[in-house]
Structure 1
Amino acid sequence: MDATLSLHDSGMAAEDLQSLTARLLRSINQETDLTATLPEERSGAGAKGDAVTIGAIILAALSSPAVEALFQVLKSYVERKPTLRFEVKTADGRELKIEAEHFSPEQIAQTMQAVKQLCEQK
């Protein structure tokens, strides 16, 4: 199942968020079996991009087995910047929002299970 992973941080400038997105994209591709790409720009040459694509990463073939590795990558980013929020949205519109509290020791297993269930639903 393909999904879009979006990063959000209201205190971060759009350019900084997109830079962080590029670093996260590299981390996902290097540390997981997922294939992550940036969405194609829909605007003309020289445009800064729209709010929909800033902070967005396309995850190809997101599956339950890949969730744990993805979660570990996301956790490392939240540990450095606890104000980051993530949203995973499937092509059929289902979504799950993940915030720093979902990475507490008490919440990790529960949050990973919620993401796995999102991957398995059709």
Structure 2
Amino acid sequence: MDATLSIHDSRMAEEDLQELTSALLRSINQETDLTAKLPEERGGAGTKGDPVTVGSLLLAALSSGTVVAMFQVLKSYIERKPTLKIELQAADGRTLKIEAEHLSKTQMEQTIQTARQFCGV
């Protein structure tokens, strides 16, 4: 399954959020079997790009194992920035929204199970 992963934090500047997104991209690609990439910008040369893509990653090959691995990576980002809001959108338009604030270990395990069901794995 392919999906779009978006992170949001109303307390972060757009540039900081995009920096965090780039770091998350590297982490996902290095620590999981997923293929993550930034969406192509729609703006021309010298423009900031489409604001909808800020904080977004395109994910390919989500499976049972990669969902668990992805959430292990996300967990480290959530621990550092517990105000993150995460949205996973499937190619068919379904969405899974996660608010990370005060997410306990048990809740993280439940979230991983929900994400696996969401991904159909």
Give the TM-score, by structure 1 length.
0.94
| AA matched with 2:4 | T
Which blocks of at least 5 consecutive residues in structure 1 are unaligned? none
Distance in 2 (CA, whole Å) between partners of 1:33 and 1:25 is: 12
Distance in 1 (CA, whole Å) between partners of 2:93 and 2:116 is: 16
- Asked if the contact 1:102–1:108 (Cα under 8 Å) also holds between the matched residues in 2, the reply is no
Question: What does the per-residue CA deviation read over 1:33-87, in whole Å, with 9 as the maximum and x for residues that have no partner?
Answer: 1000000011111110122100000001111221111001000001001111110
| CA-CA distance at 1:103 after TM superposition | 3.6
Please state if 1:4 is matched with 2:39.
no
Distance in 1 (CA, whole Å) between partners of 2:41 and 2:108 is: 34
Other-structure match for 1:89: 89
Other-structure match for 1:71: 71
| CA-CA distance at 1:102 after TM superposition | 7.5
Distance in 1 (CA, whole Å) between partners of 2:99 and 2:81 is: 11
Other-structure match for 2:108: 108
Structure 2 residue matching 1:106: 3-state secondary structure: helix
Structure 1 residue matching 2:22: 3-state secondary structure: helix
Distance in 2 (CA, whole Å) between partners of 1:49 and 1:58 is: 16
- Asked if the contact 1:6–1:86 (Cα under 8 Å) also holds between the matched residues in 2, the reply is yes
Structure 2 residue matching 1:30: 3-state secondary structure: helix
- Asked if the contact 1:21–1:57 (Cα under 8 Å) also holds between the matched residues in 2, the reply is yes
Change (3 A) 1:103 1:69: farther
| CA-CA distance at 1:106 after TM superposition | 2.0
Distance in 2 (CA, whole Å) between partners of 1:108 and 1:10 is: 22
Instruction: State the Cα RMSD in Å.
Output: 1.4
Please state if 1:49 is matched with 2:49.
yes
Percent sequence identity over matched residues?
69
Structure 1 stretches (4+) deviating beyond 6 angstroms? none
